[in-house]
Structure 1
């Protein structure tokens, strides 16, 4: 996913590698080269590293790994891990079981929610910047425009040919999240069977919250072709599904 803009406004982008993927911060406007902006971007990336140290399932010393091994009780865990666990329970309920962080061989795995949650936390740190800001991490993007009529143009990759843009969507202050098989293969499981989900190759959800757009996109892939009907229940969102046969299904729901 890429934030695209053809305006002549000053613009700067920062790109770093965190959580095993590229993260980028884009600032558009007069504050793009301010010292405050530079400091806040550094703080946002530092927060992402801190979250990864706490919640990565790939780090043996993370609190999540210790929780999964039974070495740490949830009540004694960091507030961030407790918050993520509560959000995963809410996601389980809101998706009617299609987003299930407990359906994994190694126990609780909130990975499908943490990235969007971390993007939202990074975006909050950048709120004092007096210009348009977008934060992108592996298909999850949170955007803000100072002008209520302003937009970012966000390109959605074609999962079959990642050099091609499948669609370009305008986003003002809001979020876009994409889940699917293009980058990591069939890594999203059907929670009913525990095996890789089939039917939906990619789901892109546009909405007000990057955390919930991420959750709903992941749930849509897990649902398979039944997501074609279920996405119309996601009030206040729009998006597009790419099915395994190459066909697409777009939706736009009122709040």
Structure 2
């Protein structure tokens, strides 16, 4: 089964190699991603996130899902000393850095519940895979037609934060200025919830974020700093 849809403002591709998994499983996964976008996008005026940010909902009014997202966001704010913050001073609430991986991880759970054992979900370049090994290329931070590394993923996730797609869009909330100490940072972890959140949080910290991410249990790191030096953890699963 192969399917590609534009959801959450980026292309999401799904490949399932199990013959026993029906199209209805893909329908459920993509349906959930559309629901998550509608509920948690800060760019939709009627979303739960936007309504909460405007003060139309109290903490007691929030869904269990949004409370979980905000709890994850607060965890990474504290863990990074405030460098990562989904509501930087003077800006609106924007939990997209947490929502993306969290939502895709739940979509994968729908697939596995339906019987999928060998699959790949690629959400705008962040990948969640099962039943590998799968080879995943990481884009070169300065040359769109080149890869800076290829990794091998069996059951797990990989996420990259970088400046090449959206410019200097990740802020170091401690200073309020764009984080420019790294060109790209890739995290491999057991879940896309963790990989995506850690990649953004570490990127916001700059070079010190590489060491912080590397200290987290189960996380492997590949980074290119502003001086074009490659930094990687010994356990990063680079393909042979």
One fold, TM greater than 0.5?
A: yes
- Structure 2 equivalent of residue 178 of structure 1: 160
Q: 1:197 aligns with which of 169, 179, 199?
A: 179
Q: 1:246 aligns with which of 221, 228, 231?
A: 228
Q: Secondary structure at the match of 1:220?
A: helix
Q: Does 1:233 align with 2:215?
A: yes
- TM-score between the two structures when normalised by the length of structure 2: 0.91
Q: How much has 1:13 moved relative to structure 2? A: 2.1
Q: Secondary structure at the match of 2:195?
A: helix
Q: 1:122 aligns with which of 81, 85, 107?
A: 107
Q: Does 1:14 align with 2:25?
A: no
Once superposed, which parts of structure 1, at least 4 consecutive aligned residues long, lie more than 6 Å away?
Answer: none
Counterparts in 2 of 1:101 and 1:164: CA distance versus 1, 3 Å: same
Q: 1:25 aligns with which of 14, 27, 47?
A: 14
Q: Is the 8 A contact 2:16 2:119 kept in 1?
A: yes
* Ranges in structure 1 where 5+ consecutive residues have no aligned partner: 1-11
| Matches of 2:219 and 2:159, distance apart in 1 | 11
| Matches of 1:181 and 1:252, distance apart in 2 | 25
Counterparts in 2 of 1:162 and 1:239: CA distance versus 1, 3 Å: same
Q: How much has 1:26 moved relative to structure 2? A: 1.3
Q: How many residues align?
A: 235
| Matches of 2:102 and 2:89, distance apart in 1 | 20
| Matches of 2:230 and 2:209, distance apart in 1 | 12
Q: Secondary structure at the match of 1:246?
A: coil
Q: Does 1:86 align with 2:71?
A: yes
Moved more, 217-226 or 16-25: 217-226
- Structure 2 equivalent of residue 137 of structure 1: 123
Q: Is the 8 A contact 1:237 1:252 kept in 2?
A: no
Q: How much has 1:108 moved relative to structure 2? A: 2.5
Moved more, 95-104 or 196-205: 95-104
Q: Is the 8 A contact 1:175 1:213 kept in 2?
A: yes
* Ranges in structure 2 where 5+ consecutive residues have no aligned partner: none
- Structure 2 equivalent of residue 8 of structure 1: none
Q: Is the 8 A contact 1:56 1:64 kept in 2?
A: yes
Counterparts in 2 of 1:42 and 1:68: CA distance versus 1, 3 Å: same
> What's the C-alpha RMSD, in Å, of the aligned pairs?
1.8
Q: How much has 1:152 moved relative to structure 2? A: 0.9
Q: How much has 1:253 moved relative to structure 2? A: 5.3
Q: 1:98 aligns with which of 72, 80, 83?
A: 83
- Structure 2 equivalent of residue 9 of structure 1: none
- TM-score between the two structures when normalised by the length of structure 1: 0.86
